[in-house]
Amino acid sequence: MGKWEEKRFDDIVESNLIGLVRSKKEQSDDYDIMYLKMNNITNDGNIVHSNIINVNVSKEECQRYSLKQGDFLFNTRNSVELVGKTGVFLLEGKYVYNNNILRTRFIKNIDPKFINYQFHSSIGKAKLEKIKSGTTNVAAIYYKSLKDVLLLIPPLNTQKQIVSKLDALFARIDKSIGLLEGNIQHTKDLMASVLDGEFGKLGEKFGKKALNDICVKITDGSHHSPKAIEKGYPYVTVKDINNKGEIDLINCKKISEMDYAELLKTGCQPQKGDVLLSKDGTVGKVAIVDFEKDWVVLSSLAIIRPNVDILKSEYLSLMLQTPIFQKTAIGLKTGAAIKRIVLRTIKTMEIPAPNLKEQEKAIVKIHDLRKPLNNLITQQTEKLKHLQSLKSSLLDMAFKGDLV
The arrangement of secondary structure in 208-352, i.e. its CATH architecture, is: Alpha-Beta Complex (3.90)
* pLDDT above 90: residue 282: no
Categorize the per-residue pLDDT at 336 as very low, low, confident or very high, splitting at 50, 70 and 90. very low
Q: How far is CA 378 from the centre of its chain?
A: 20
% of the chain exceeding 90 in pLDDT: 74
Identical fold at 5-154 and 208-352? yes
pLDDT at 8 (0 to 100): 97
Is residue 95 within a helix (H) or strand (E), and if so which, with residue range?
strand 95-97
Phi-psi region of 198 (alpha: psi -120 to 50; beta: other; left: phi over 0): alpha
pTM: 0.76
Range 100-123 average pLDDT: 97
- Averaged over 270-290, what is the pLDDT? 90
Over the stretch 126-163, which tens digit does the pLDDT of each residue have?
Answer: 999 999 998 656 899 999 999 999 999 999 999 999 99
Structural contact between residues 34 and 93, judged by C-beta atoms closer than 8 angstroms: yes
pLDDT of amino acid 106 = 98
For the segment 162-182, what is each residue's pLDDT rounded down to a tens digit? 999 999 999 999 999 999 999
Question: CA 113 to CA 247: how far, in whole Å?
Answer: 39
pLDDT of residue 333: 54
Please name every residue paired with 17 in a beta bridge, in sequence order, or none if there are none: 103
For the chain, which residues make up each domain, given as ranges? Answer: 5-154, 208-352
Higher per-residue confidence, 387 vs 284: 387
Tell me the per-residue pLDDT of 347-378, one tens digit each, with 9 for 90 and over. Answer: 999 999 999 999 999 999 999 999 999 999 99
Q: Strands (DSSP E) along 221-349, which ranges?
A: 233-236, 253-255, 275-278, 286-288, 296-297, 301-306
Rounded to whole angstroms, the Cα distance separating 305 from 308 reads: 9
What's the pLDDT at 337? 42
**The pLDDT value given to residue 280:** 77
pLDDT at 330 over 90: no
For the domain 5-154, what is the CATH code? 3.90.220.20
